[in-house]
Amino acid sequence: MVKTDPAELLRAHGLSVTPQRLAVLKAVEHCPHGSADAIADDVRERLGTVSVQTIYDALTTFVDRGLIRRIEPAGSPALFDPRAGDGHHHAICRSCRSVQDVESPITPLPFLPHASRPDFVVDEAEVVYWGFCAACRAASDTPAEDNTPGLRARPRKPRPHSL
């Protein structure tokens, strides 16, 4: 990702620069794929008291203007991604819910078989790969507690060591 000055980024998208917006934008970069709650915590560390509404408003504005991207994985709150507009995908761990970027081999959009939907105009495609991250797989090699709530919520595939 090319690092852009947050104030410049706001101006480039026609937004006035306020301390709150700057803090929210920095927080999204600081906790990529963070929930609104995680971002709010980060903003408050920078600015002290900021209302939840102010933070939500800034996030919504940024998503609408294309500064950041919102992803909504099943069973998860909305997550905010500082990488917008590049069509990258995500790999999400069923156990710890960590989100990792996956570079899309085809940009900006994965191929939509035209024959099956000739009348459909695509403007966005989202691919989520569900599985288990390296850390969780390493942990599952040793006997481990098996009470991760995120896993129970998606029982489609058993955890590797739970059988």
Binding site for Zn ion (CB under 5 A): 81, 83, 93, 95-96, 101, 133, 136
* Closest approach of Zn ion to the CB of residue 41, in Å: 20
* Closest approach of Zn ion to the CB of residue 58, in Å: 19
Residue whose token pair is 């008291």: 49
Lateral strand order in the sheet of 34-35:
34-35, 79-81, 69-71
Give the Cα separation of 95 and 116 in Å (integer).
Answer: 35
* Residue number with CB closer to Zn ion (41 or 101): 101
* Closest approach of Zn ion to the CB of residue 120, in Å: 25
* Residue number with CB closer to Zn ion (23 or 136): 136
* Residue number with CB closer to Zn ion (19 or 131): 131
Cβ 62 vs Cβ 43: under 8 Å: no
- Residues composing the chain: 163
